Amino acid sequence: MTSPSLDAIVLAGGRATRFGSDKAAATIDDETLLQRVVDAARRAGAVRVVVVGPRRPLRAGADVLWCREDPPFGGPAAGIGAAIGAVTADEVLVLACDLRRPTDALAALGAVPPGTDAVVPMDDAGRKQWLTARYRTAALRTAVHASGRLDGAAVRELMHTLECAHPVMAVDHLADVDTRADLNEAGGRASVARISEDDMADSPTHLSPEDLDAWVVSMRERFDLSVEAVPTGDILDLARDAAHAVARPAAPLAAFVAGFVAAREGGGPAKISEVIDEVSKLADRWKGAK
């Protein structure tokens, strides 16, 4: 009997609010979470991998299709709806981009059992893992088309008409990275980049965390600056606050003024942090006064 063909949908379009930065770009064992899930899908046999979310750097030859949910940040159900049209295989993996052990999870998952529409594992607490699952493409496409509005919809509601097998899987195979503590526990490293509405456009100038770190190191070496003199995370937070509270062009101006004032008042890590905090508060007051 011929095995069913397989594609994959990888959901990487969330805001990662609890995490605080671009979770898909965080790394474990020097690979981004997104790259790890894409690689695991390929190892499981996926011919086509559709990634829902802003374009991010992947290893050369990753050869994925990119798409966005409408509206962006509409949630995983909307992401599935956006990607299903690009799926051509008999079955499709639907995977969150933040799985800690995607290869182990997919090795334990297996094909969709006869007489069912999907295999959706449960952890030992009985929680169904809709985003570490394998579906018959035709059944999933029918569910999407019958669902109506997907923006903000719960995935379990999207899937409620499907006949699913729910094997119990080891909880460590299903674990994801929701918080920085989860990432630290997995031995990973967070990115300083954040996902915002401005990331909706596909940008060829997006920097990986490693490239951004290398750029900061180059500036420090060129101008003989200490590590404490360039608090990258704080500066990016300030730029984000100014862009959102005032306007996008305010971001580089805010960073420049913070640096100028800190230097004028004697510099030093404590002064830099103090001035950045004060400019951020000014941006918040500006937003509140508008």
Domain of residue 36, residue span: 6-189
- Residue 11 three-state SS: strand
**What pLDDT digit, counting tens, does each position of 260-277 carry?**
888 888 767 678 888 888
Residues 158 and 241 in one domain: no
Q: Is 218 domain-assigned?
A: no
CB 18 within 8 A of CB 47: no
Q: Which residue has the higher pLDDT, 13 or 130?
A: 130
Residues 60 and 171 in one domain: yes
Beta-carbon contacts of 46 under 8 Å, excluding residues fewer than 6 positions away, are: 6, 7, 8, 89, 93
Instruction: State in Å, rounded, how far the first CA of the chain is from the last one.
Output: 66
Domain boundary at 173, 189, 205, which? 189
Residues 156 and 265 in one domain: no
- Residue 259: the pLDDT is 83
**What pLDDT digit, counting tens, does each position of 23-78 carry?**
888 898 889 999 999 999 999 999 999 999 988 889 888 899 999 998 888 899 99
- Residue 159 three-state SS: coil
Long-range contacts of 226-230 (CB under 8 A, 24+ apart): 228/269, 228/272, 229/267, 229/269, 229/272
Residues 48 and 96 in one domain: yes
Tokens for 240?
A: 């984000």
Residues 57 and 141 in one domain: yes
Tally of domains in the chain: 2
Residue 17: pLDDT band with limits 50, 70, 90: low
Other CB atoms within a 10 A radius of the CB of residue 17 amount to 9
For 225, which DSSP code? -
Q: Is 207 domain-assigned?
A: no
Beta-carbon contacts of 131 under 8 Å, excluding residues fewer than 6 positions away, are: 11, 76, 94, 95, 96, 155
CA separation for the pair 289, 78 (Å, rounded):
35
Residues 19 and 91 in one domain: yes
Q: Is 232 domain-assigned?
A: yes
How are the residues of the chain apportioned to helix, strand and coil, as percentages rounded to the nearest 5?
Answer: 45, 15, 40
Residue 144: pLDDT band with limits 50, 70, 90: very high
Q: Is 196 domain-assigned?
A: no
Residues 110 and 168 in one domain: yes
Residues 246 and 172 in one domain: no
Residues 248 and 183 in one domain: no
For 230, which DSSP code? -
- Residue 284: the pLDDT is 77
**What pLDDT digit, counting tens, does each position of 78-94 carry?**
999 999 999 999 999 99
Residues 237 and 184 in one domain: no
Q: Is 199 domain-assigned?
A: no
Residues 42 and 164 in one domain: yes
Domain boundary at 189, 213, 239, which? 189
For residues 278-289, average pLDDT: 76
**What pLDDT digit, counting tens, does each position of 188-202 carry?**
776 655 555 445 444
List the one residue out of 158, 164, 161 whose CA is nearest residue 82.
Answer: 158
Report pTM.
0.67
Residues 24 and 136 in one domain: yes
CA separation for the pair 86, 222 (Å, rounded):
47
Preceding amide of 71 cis, omega within 30: yes
Angle at which helices 102-109 and 33-43 pack, to 10 degrees?
30
Strands (E), the chain: 6-11, 27-28, 31-32, 49-52, 65-67, 91-96, 118-119, 132-136, 164-165, 188-189
Q: Is 1 domain-assigned?
A: no
Domain boundary at 162, 189, 216, which? 189
Domain of 135, CATH number, reads: 3.90.550.10
Sign of CA dihedral 67, 71, 73, 79: negative
Q: Is 219 domain-assigned?
A: no
- Residue 218: the pLDDT is 76
Q: Is 104 domain-assigned?
A: yes
